Amino acid sequence: MASFSRSLPFMSGRRRVILAAMSVAFGNILPARAAQNVLAEFGGKDGLTAIMEDFDTFLMADSRTRPFFEKVDRKRIKQQLVIQFCALLGGDCVYSGGNMKGIHRGLQITKEDFNALIEALQEAMDKHKVSFRAQNKLLAVLAPMHRDIVEK
Ligand code: HEM
């Protein structure tokens, strides 16, 4: 538990405690039926699409994340994120974009950059009134990806 909490530098307090407890309960994998319910809490695929629009806006508004995204195909990234998150949340989507390690290789993403992106995602989910419980389920699946994404 302690080491899992340490791997979530972007969280503090209550969020982190709940997430750590959930990780123990679910082993970071959402059971199929529970996962279906979680996707519904994001408003399904349409809801995810709307959340990704605001996520993109927040990423571009933050000087920590904007430099990474201003020269890439953000429309494609948004589309891929919708599919990837839909699949992670148990929806009927098949992610066929690049693997996390390959896509982010060489970008020199730091832990701080990673945390900034997660904050933008949390802001977007808050704006769309995704429940705290559902947010944490997605974050629990995303958190371990920092191992493939953070390079320095
Ligand atoms: C859990 C966290 C993250 C997830 C799930 C994620 C997911 C993705 C996905 C699905 C794509 C598109 C893949 C494709 O086009 O096939 C992508 C691309 C990209 N991501 Fe991430 N990402 C994460 C964290 C980050 C962070 C922290 C940064 C930088 C601050 C970042 C910067 C980028 C950039 C610049 C691209 C475009 C690469 C290119 O087109 O060459 N990502 N990411």
Q: What pLDDT digit, counting tens, does each position of 46-84 carry?
A: 999 999 999 999 999 999 999 999 999 999 999 999 999
Indicate if ligand 1 lies below 6 Å from the C-beta of 142: yes
Q: What pLDDT digit, counting tens, does each position of 97-144 carry?
A: 999 999 999 999 999 999 999 999 999 999 999 999 999 999 999 999
- Atom number of ligand 1 nearest to Cα 68: 35
* Contacts for 100 with CB less than 8 Å, ≥ 6 apart: 145, 148, 149
Indicate if ligand 1 lies below 6 Å from the C-beta of 141: no
CB 10 within 8 A of CB 119: yes
Q: What amino acid is encoded at 81 in this protein?
A: L
Indicate if ligand 1 lies below 6 Å from the C-beta of 95: no
- pLDDT the model gives residue 17: 52
- Atom number of ligand 1 nearest to Cα 97: 16
DSSP notation for 29-51: ---HHHHHHHHHHTTHHHHHHHH
Query: How many Cβ atoms sit within 10 Å of the Cβ of residue 32?
Result: 8
- pLDDT the model gives residue 83: 97
User: What is the distance between the alpha carbons of residues 124 and 116, in angstroms, rounded to a whole number?
Assistant: 13
Structure tokens belonging to residue 74: 């953000």
DSSP code of residue 145: G
**Helix, strand, coil proportions of the chain in percent (round to 5)?**
70, 0, 30
Does pLDDT of 25 surpass 50?
no
Which of helix, strand or coil describes residue 133?
Answer: helix
Among residues 117, 134, 143, which one has the least CA distance to residue 52?
117
Ligand 1 centroid–CA 30 distance in Å is: 22
Does pLDDT of 87 surpass 60?
yes
Ligand 1 centroid–CA 137 distance in Å is: 20
Domains in the chain, please, with CATH? 2-149 (1.10.490.10)
- pLDDT the model gives residue 37: 80
Cut 0.95: pTM above it: no
Identify which of 95, 103, 121 to mutate to test ligand 1's pocket (most ligand atoms within 8 A of the CB): 103
Among residues 35, 32, 1, which one has the least CA distance to residue 19?
1
